[in-house]
Amino acid sequence: MSTTQQHRDIAAHLRAAIRNGDVTPGDPLPSESELCERFGSSRGPVRQAMATLRAEGLVSSGRGRRTTVLDMVPTQSFDGVISYSEWCRQSGLEPGQVTQSVARRPADAALAAALGVATGAPVVSVFRLRLLDGEPAMVERLNYTLEVGRHVLGFDTDSGSIYQHLIEQGVDIDNATRTIDAVGADEDDAQLLGVPVGSPLLRVRRRAFTRAGTPVEASDDRYLPGTASFTVNSIRGNQSPLSMVVGA
Amino acid sequence: MSTTQQHRDIAAHLRAAIRNGDVTPGDPLPSESELCERFGSSRGPVRQAMATLRAEGLVSSGRGRRTTVLDMVPTQSFDGVISYSEWCRQSGLEPGQVTQSVARRPADAALAAALGVATGAPVVSVFRLRLLDGEPAMVERLNYTLEVGRHVLGFDTDSGSIYQHLIEQGVDIDNATRTIDAVGADEDDAQLLGVPVGSPLLRVRRRAFTRAGTPVEASDDRYLPGTASFTVNSIRGNQSPLSMVVGA
DNA sequence: TAGTGGTCTAGACCACAGG
DNA sequence: CTGTGGTCTAGACCACTAC
């Protein structure tokens, strides 16, 4: 929104050129001075646009070298990162959900630690089977602090995106951490997804925070293999925001 | 390396302050003008340092707001991303490897596509069990184009990092894409890792490229659950370089 | 050696959050 | 309102690559 920003225009223009195939992987992008002329701007906005593309994993650059196009890697908005419904829509697929339970209950030690509350403090938990184009795809276990979860208790969890609902209620969700690993299906997972107990599932645990750093959500999503995978692009000389760590 | 760079100094100083606990999650960082004074620099380098911290998921900022510290999230160098040995060392653990086979063989259709060569063209494949502090942790299947793989054929693959060796040979590895999902152990995996066939494993497939975009490596690593997981931090208003995609 | 991207300066205006 | 971070300008020098 807001007025047009040069660096966004420039980045969008280059992104489009890459996606259209006007410049193909391995080709150089126009030089910065050329882009300055073409967009009638100074070097600042051009460099900011380049930094964006670099962060998205679309291009690689370096001293003396021309900036070159890498293989196209899809990126994802924050909404798509945190909301299954939004992710489905961005992928052109139909999300669905079958609520198993919505409950206010006391937090066990692990959940309390994740949400930054005392053990036994009340939290709101949602347990849903999620569908992809009508087929079982993921088992979702959401847990919210009471302050946030109270907006969930009065919401029809079969109707769609809880995240969307929370944003509309003015809940401040600013950042999230996801931890990805593999687990075997437990009995609930197995029954809902229609696979044997112990079958491999891709587990994504998510913690979401306010701007001030207060935890608001701690969740556990388990995907059927083949329905979802994660892709990340790393470039030499960049620190990767994704890290592999030892242990569960 | 090279002369001291202000933006790196500033970023390093702030990173250290965060890790030392001088500023704790939720606290504001010094304002940009304050940092300009303290480091005797103009705003450019300060903003570049902030952009780095933001990309690393360490801080969150926005118009009018102070830049605030998020929970500390480990980041990873490109070397750590691509090299198991380097990752272990960064984690303070001892890497190990037991080579099962090193072979020059013709590529099947899938591998040929991944490496950008013709089906049946010769490639170099390495199959190793990797250890973490002496215990089985991961099954590694590496595949290189012939031009790169010829440096591997004469290398003692039980001695350590192939990536390190390739870099020393002057191989140009500039960027890599990792795709993460879950699979069941096949017979080879099961035997080497000491788990039943079908047990959940975390699979990381990696494709590595030169600056010009030529594929050089296509690999498949399968981790025992509990030995490795991935963590990523996402911030509202940023595009995430990690994306979740439909399908295997 | 010519041109590139990386770094830096010293200014400026604006949108927005907070008191 | 004041101060913040976001955006932008118009210059400059340097390290490096490719020729």
Q: What is the pLDDT of residues B41-53, one digit of tens each?
A: 999 999 999 998 9
A198: left (phi over 0), alpha (psi -120 to 50) or beta: left
Residue A248 pLDDT > 60: no
Residue A6 pLDDT > 70: yes
Total CB pairs under 8 A between chain A and B:
271
Q: Residue B6 CB closer than 7 angstroms to strand C?
A: yes
Question: If you search the block for the tokens 């002057």, which residue do you land on?
Answer: B170
Q: How many residues does chain A have?
A: 248
Name the more confident of B215 and B100.
B100
- CA nearest to A206, candidates A173, A234, A165: A173
> Which residues, in sequence order, are bridge partners of residue A178?
A206, B232
Q: Residue B8 CB closer than 7 angstroms to strand D?
A: no
Closest nt by CA–C1' to A212: C17
Average pLDDT over residues A175-191: 92
Name the more confident of A239 and B133.
B133
What class does CATH assign to B78-223?
alpha beta
Average pLDDT over residues B147-164: 88
Question: If you search the block for the tokens 């691509």, which residue do you land on?
Answer: B82
**pLDDT-derived band at B12, boundaries 50, 70, 90:** very high
**pLDDT-derived band at A39, boundaries 50, 70, 90:** very high
Average pLDDT over residues B66-75: 77
Tokens read off for A242 = 């994704």
Backbone φ and ψ for A232, nearest 5 degrees, come out as: -140, 140
pLDDT of residue A235: 73
**pLDDT-derived band at B131, boundaries 50, 70, 90:** very high
CA of B65 to C1' of C18 (A): 8
A203 vs B contacts (CB less than 8 Å) = 182
Question: Which of A200, A229, A246 lies closest to B227 in CB terms?
Answer: A246
pLDDT of residue B157: 84
Q: Are A140 and A221 in contact (CB under 8 A)?
A: yes
A93 vs B contacts (CB less than 8 Å) = 246
Backbone φ and ψ for B227, nearest 5 degrees, come out as: -90, -30
Residue A2 pLDDT > 50: no
CA dihedral B22, B25, B28, B30 (to 10 degrees): 30
**pLDDT-derived band at B1, boundaries 50, 70, 90:** very low
Name the more confident of B6 and B235.
B6
d(CA A30, CA A48): 15
- Tell me the one-letter amino acid at A151: H
Closest nt by CA–C1' to B211: D17
At A95-145, the pLDDT tens digits run: 999 999 999 999 998 898 888 888 999 999 999 999 999 999 999 999 999
- The segment with the largest mean pLDDT, out of A199-203, B24-28, B59-63, is A199-203
What is the fold of B3-69? Arc Repressor Mutant, subunit A (1.10.10)
* Lowest pLDDT segment from A61-70, A120-129, A239-248: A239-248
Backbone φ and ψ for A90, nearest 5 degrees, come out as: -60, -25
- The mean predicted confidence, pLDDT, of chain A is 87
Q: Where in chain A is the domain with CATH 3.40.1410.10?
A: 78-223
**What secondary structure does DSSP assign to chain A, as a single string?**
--S--HHHHHHHHHHHHHHHTSS-TTPBPPPHHHHHHHHT--HHHHHHHHHHHHHTTSEE--TTSPPEE------B-HHHHH-HHHHHHHTT--EEEEEEEEEEEE--HHHHHHHTS-TT-EEEEEEEEEEETTEEEEEEEEEEEHHHHHHHHTS-TTSS-HHHHHHHTT----EEEEEEEEEE--HHHHHHHT--TT-EEEEEEEEEE-TT--EEEEEEEEEPTTTEEEEEEEETTSPBSEEEEE--
Å between A237 CA and nearest CA of chain B = 7
A103-111 long-range CB contacts below 8 Å, 24 or more apart?
A104/A146, A104/A149, A104/A153, A107/A143, A111/A143, A111/A218
For nucleotide C2, the protein residue with its alpha carbon nearest to C1' is A64
Coil, helix or strand at residue B243: strand
pTM: 0.82
> Which residues, in sequence order, are bridge partners of residue B53?
none
- The mean predicted confidence, pLDDT, of chain B is 87
Q: Where in chain B is the domain with CATH 1.10.10.10?
A: 3-69
Closest nt by CA–C1' to A9: D7
Question: First vs last Cα of chain A: how many Å apart?
Answer: 41
